[in-house]
Amino acid sequence: MRIILLGPPGAGKGTEAELLVKHYHIPHISTGNIFRALYKDNTTVGKIAKEYIDRGQLVPDDITNEIVRNRLNHADAKKGFLFDGYPRNVDQAAWFDELLIQKEWKLDAVINIYVPDEVLIERISGRRVCESCGAVYHVTNKKPNVEGICDVDGGKLIQRADDMEETVQRRLRVYNEQTEPVIGYYQNKGAIVMIDGTQSIKEVDTAIKKVLGEMN
Enzyme catalytic residues: 13, 88, 127, 160, 171
- Round to whole Å and give the CA distance between 60 and 171: 15
Of 63-82, binders to Zn ion (CB under 5 A) are none
119-138 footprint of Zn ion as x/- string (CB under 5 A): -----------x--x-x---
CB of 130 to Zn ion, least distance (A): 3
Q: How many CA atoms lie within 13 A of 186 on its CB side?
A: 26
- Round to whole Å and give the CA distance between 133 and 131: 6
**Residue from 150, 172, 174, 192 in contact with Zn ion (CB under 5 A):** 150
Number of residues this chain uses to bind Zn ion (CB under 5 A) = 7
Does 152 contact Zn ion by CB under 5 A?
yes
Concatenate the DSSP letters of all residues of 38-93 into one string: HHHTT-HHHHHHHHHHHTTPPPPHHHHHHHHHHHHTSGGGGG-EEEES---SHHHH
Residue with Cβ nearer Zn ion (94 or 152): 152
Does 153 contact Zn ion by CB under 5 A?
yes
Residue with Cβ nearer Zn ion (37 or 152): 152
CB atoms < 10 A from the CB of 16, how many?
23
CB of 85 to Zn ion, least distance (A): 23
CB of 29 to Zn ion, least distance (A): 24
CB of 157 to Zn ion, least distance (A): 8
Q: Give the containing element (helix H, strand E) for 113.
A: strand 109-114
CB of 150 to Zn ion, least distance (A): 3
| Chain Cα centroid distance, residue 23 | 18
Q: Give the containing element (helix H, strand E) for 137.
A: strand 136-138
Does 155 contact Zn ion by CB under 5 A?
yes
Residue with Cβ nearer Zn ion (158 or 191): 158
Omega cis (within 30) before 87 = yes
Residue with Cβ nearer Zn ion (48 or 135): 135
Q: What angle do CA 40, 86, 138 make, to 5 degrees?
A: 65
**Binding residues vs Zn ion (CB under 5 A):** 130, 133, 135, 150, 152-153, 155
